[in-house]
Structure 1
């Protein structure tokens, strides 16, 4: 991929700013630790093969949903009737079912309520100095029944924090048996403090200056319905509570009907099934035009937001029907002040999708700084989806949507929520990043609560390349400081390696301390992929292996062990040393030039991590040459003595002349002849 090298250059340049105080106290290099046989956490069996692909007996349960929701804008309450059709493809008989109740995170008695640090940041909650945290009653369950032999029957259930166990009157057999669960519920919609789901009123102004643009509420409706927990071959029911980190969900088809006031526009995951009921003839004609256009087509312009002609009726409610197939979730957003535009997405094999953006008039831009704003969002969505579809895996859904609202920087299948004031390079970066999550973890359905690097790390890896290529590098190279807690620059990555208290990449997502969550899961996770691609396997082998991993696990549930095995098997290298050093430990990489004497060079390995490396030799006659050090250099020793074949007198030696490696102490990388 073009310009990929910008990521390691940036990371390593930043890393070199960190003082090497810890390096002086590091334990001596021990090859027995680095190259010891490695047993991966999840064993090979009939469900998961030794080559990293799903095994011949791999199974996965399914969850289909039908949802009928009514938005009460006066009371700020959502009422929903839900029908879950659950298919048990496992070989096991299930006496109960576990269901996720994410809205219960906002209850005063939730496990997350008193958490500080990363949880507080994720929810945009108030600090103790601001008074008590806002709260709701979470899901209020009006009725829970199961359907057996065509009849609905009330069941016993137990709510435990953000989970509910439904105890079945008759166990659900395996190998494809189905059951329907019907749930009637309602809940209070959180304000902006809800973070990933919220409602609030737009200001009608640009850059917080007085303005007279139309004002209106925006409802970002995510995690809005009870969803099945995953029952898999690794743990049975995976019931980690929702305390801040993201999701692990089953795949299926979702039909959902959203009834809202008639003056509202709804943006929803999937395909709008009843446009004639909720759009004007002009809007439908413009949508048809957008499906054929590579340029952005305005479906509802800023000047039309207050026009009654932009809605098919002026009072009462309208019901929007969406459908999304092969998905793990859906989300939607509704507002009377949405501007709406769209353009065609060109996919491989002649297929297409639709890029769309929804935003209030105050976000149209350019802003007072002259930066491009939301009028360019659809262009960013289109380019991102086309790039990732060509490079990694074709986008599978009928639309990709970006919404400007109050639940900023959050992703769901086919739809993402970003910020109303976002503009310029930041709007491009956050759009590319959130849309990139459609690949990880929406297509490749990893467990985000346990393995954040398979979500944020993989996605950061691919979105940085999109920044390098869009419009000839207009917004590249990407700087990830906007994602770090409190705005700290990403030189924190080496602080992870130098910090004895830092968690490893393999730690569960909610266990990351606030100041280390992004450096570990985003930056170290992405940098590990860069090292694999650029320094260890090379682009040709890496791209082949990573694409196969994505194809094999599309709409399935891979574990880290599956990823490790697939990259090894298809990449053609035993990478145990790298999995152990970079992912399972925070080992440091530190090569040093010990001496240049008698026309010999002595290089030592002072860290426990090993990587392929380059050193450059300059000769007294002004010429130079480079030599590669494979990881096998350190297979049984920690010191290398090297002499040139040409007999020339050495003037100096420099390790890692291109600064592409995470060397912990660059002060010992260069030495002149004694």
Structure 2
């Protein structure tokens, strides 16, 4: 625990014990020079941009897997073409084996509120082969929880060395206890939601070399590359996978191919497989045996797929900037095929992707899929999201927008979810705020009220209990260290509200929006750190924001602005707690007119209390700071005068 954090806890305890007084605020602490978590070097510049020596490794994949819905197993073969662009020769490779999370001895079983009761035996590794310098050989490997170390016959050259690793494997599928992968029944058959279904390369980066944080429960950190993958299933199943289906003629009927072609040019949703056709054998091009569905996806960190006999399927065109197009598709069971449930899913998906693409950065993939099941409901992967098949329209819109919003964070902007979950969930929740305002003229908005704000109350008040909780974590804390009770309030809500405050109160949209777009475009398909984000936003927006990074991200400080008194034309304002924010002071005169005066954060660099002289000769009869309730002030009873 660093000294700043210790001091912040002491300050919070003092404020709680003694109540709000001007003496609890210490400008020397709030405005001390901010130490960024990651230093500037040749790899990462002081402007928040990649430095002149920036590098990133690459992993391209050829994958083949067979899903057996009778045994509920998957048998696969993965060939990873790995490129070492780092300045270091590598004598080992590290891979992620996330299916091992479901074993009885998994470390993650000991981190939650209770031990799980169902298990699998995880990955069964049949063989590992390394091809290096044209020579293939069996490789030695060691499995440690959810990681596997592969020892290379000879060091992999720095700055462009290449190696191919082929792994043959199998595993038993977790059922509905998988959380992010598994299967559940529906009226017309099991629905399989298949993620973390192949060994994936760990990231080797300039921050810590091999990043081998175990998979406990808090998502992912992955390299980028191109994927070609093939999924073999019984012929009566439909597969919906990340990327583009490259053999539709082999796995779809002619009618389905024609309907897909129509959907590519239609803003209205087109049925590809109707509810009536789900139980019609003619809706499949082959009876009996298996079919292999082949997909490709470029510049992605991962792929996932859904598979079922039960899917209804519909689609529509996505309109992207510069006249480009993509395809929105939804697959879901017949029991969800009503206007009150999934009948508008593709409409929601299409609108979300179009909004995010126009406002922030264009959607880069050919297809976006909303898949309806229950084993992994509410989970995101590149090009496909798994959402609850029983969700009514309003919750379905919210979860669809949120999960596909993860395309931008962390799938385009590849932050480390396992260490900095707030850069994933928080940034995504932030862009959801404006999507919900925009969708169908605010049909389901506003999101600002969120699930934490008091019912009917002001949205910023929802954060006050978290800020007052001395046990609550700071945002700059590893995701696995955050207790479940704080995960949503901090990682989602506080992180998102921080960006709302930056955009609407501290910087302003006219400077924030271009800076945020620059951040996304600069770090697209790269791995930014918190410091890269902090520095780029400061540099592009033209603000020194160290006080905000410290108070909102490095600590869990509270804000308490007050109007202490009015004497003649002088209004005395105070900052009574450790967080500072710009705010508006509204003065009311005896002729019932008002005047708004903006109070910048610089007011509190040297002062705990400040006497503001209001120009003019009119008598002041009232004054209130933050009259429109824009900032999270913990004690609003002292915001106005007279009391």
Same fold (TM over 0.5): yes
In the alignment, the residues of structure 2 paired with residue 600 and residue 25 of structure 1 have an alpha-carbon distance, to the nearest angstrom, of: 22
Partner of 1:369: none
With normalisation by structure 1, the TM-score equals: 0.90
Matched, 1:66 2:62: yes
Q: 2:228 is matched with which residue: 251, 255, 263?
A: 255
With normalisation by structure 2, the TM-score equals: 0.95
In the alignment, the residues of structure 1 paired with residue 516 and residue 337 of structure 2 have an alpha-carbon distance, to the nearest angstrom, of: 38
Partner of 1:310: 283
CA displacement at 1:510 relative to structure 2: 1.2
Partner of 1:398: 366
Higher relative contact order, chain-length normalized (CA < 8 Å, sep 6+)? 1
Q: 1:361 is matched with which residue: 325, 334, 337?
A: 334
Alpha carbons of 1:298 and 1:441: their partners in 2 closer, same or farther (altered >3 Å)? same
In the alignment, the residues of structure 1 paired with residue 472 and residue 550 of structure 2 have an alpha-carbon distance, to the nearest angstrom, of: 16
Structure 1 SS opposite 2:474: coil
CA displacement at 1:491 relative to structure 2: 5.7
Matched, 1:239 2:212: yes
C-alpha contact (below 8 Å) 1:483/1:518 kept by paired residues: no
In the alignment, the residues of structure 1 paired with residue 521 and residue 347 of structure 2 have an alpha-carbon distance, to the nearest angstrom, of: 27
Matched, 1:78 2:112: no
CA displacement at 1:22 relative to structure 2: 6.4
Matched, 1:195 2:164: no
Q: 1:471 is matched with which residue: 404, 420, 440?
A: 440
Q: 2:556 is matched with which residue: 557, 577, 586?
A: 586
State how 1:2-17 maps to structure 2 within 5 Å: none
Alpha carbons of 1:428 and 1:133: their partners in 2 closer, same or farther (altered >3 Å)? same
CA displacement at 1:577 relative to structure 2: 0.7
Structure 2 SS opposite 1:448: coil
Partner of 1:209: none
Q: 2:101 is matched with which residue: 81, 101, 105?
A: 105
C-alpha contact (below 8 Å) 1:591/1:604 kept by paired residues: yes
Partner of 2:157: 173
Structure 2 SS opposite 1:645: coil
State how 1:365-514 maps to structure 2 within 5 Å: 365-366=338-339, 372-406=340-374, 407-478=376-447, 493-514=463-484
In the alignment, the residues of structure 2 paired with residue 492 and residue 525 of structure 1 have an alpha-carbon distance, to the nearest angstrom, of: 13
C-alpha contact (below 8 Å) 2:463/2:632 kept by paired residues: no
Matched, 1:648 2:618: yes
Q: Compute the RMSD of aligned alpha carbons.
A: 1.6
CA displacement at 1:21 relative to structure 2: 5.3
Partner of 1:342: 315
C-alpha contact (below 8 Å) 1:60/1:556 kept by paired residues: yes
CA displacement at 1:483 relative to structure 2: 9.2
Q: 1:516 is matched with which residue: 483, 486, 490?
A: 486
CA displacement at 1:89 relative to structure 2: 0.4
C-alpha contact (below 8 Å) 2:88/2:158 kept by paired residues: yes
In the alignment, the residues of structure 2 paired with residue 654 and residue 22 of structure 1 have an alpha-carbon distance, to the nearest angstrom, of: 26
Matched, 1:669 2:639: yes
CA displacement at 1:23 relative to structure 2: 7.8
State how 1:124-139 maps to structure 2 within 5 Å: 133-139=117-123
Worse-matched range after superposition: 447-456 or 23-32: 23-32
In the alignment, the residues of structure 1 paired with residue 449 and residue 179 of structure 2 have an alpha-carbon distance, to the nearest angstrom, of: 21
Partner of 1:46: 42
C-alpha contact (below 8 Å) 1:60/1:232 kept by paired residues: yes
Alpha carbons of 1:105 and 1:25: their partners in 2 closer, same or farther (altered >3 Å)? farther
Partner of 1:575: 545
C-alpha contact (below 8 Å) 1:88/1:176 kept by paired residues: yes
Partner of 1:635: 605
In the alignment, the residues of structure 2 paired with residue 306 and residue 479 of structure 1 have an alpha-carbon distance, to the nearest angstrom, of: 43
State how 1:271-350 maps to structure 2 within 5 Å: 271-350=244-323
- Provide, for residues 239-267 of structure 1, a one-character-per-residue CA deviation record: whole Å limited to 9, x for no partner: 10000001000000011000000000000
In the alignment, the residues of structure 1 paired with residue 526 and residue 397 of structure 2 have an alpha-carbon distance, to the nearest angstrom, of: 29
C-alpha contact (below 8 Å) 2:31/2:546 kept by paired residues: yes
Alpha carbons of 1:23 and 1:400: their partners in 2 closer, same or farther (altered >3 Å)? farther
Alpha carbons of 1:158 and 1:471: their partners in 2 closer, same or farther (altered >3 Å)? same
CA displacement at 1:29 relative to structure 2: 1.1
Alpha carbons of 1:22 and 1:386: their partners in 2 closer, same or farther (altered >3 Å)? farther
CA displacement at 1:149 relative to structure 2: 3.3
Worse-matched range after superposition: 489-498 or 603-612: 489-498
State how 1:151-170 maps to structure 2 within 5 Å: 151-170=135-154
In the alignment, the residues of structure 1 paired with residue 338 and residue 585 of structure 2 have an alpha-carbon distance, to the nearest angstrom, of: 50
Number of equivalent positions: 622
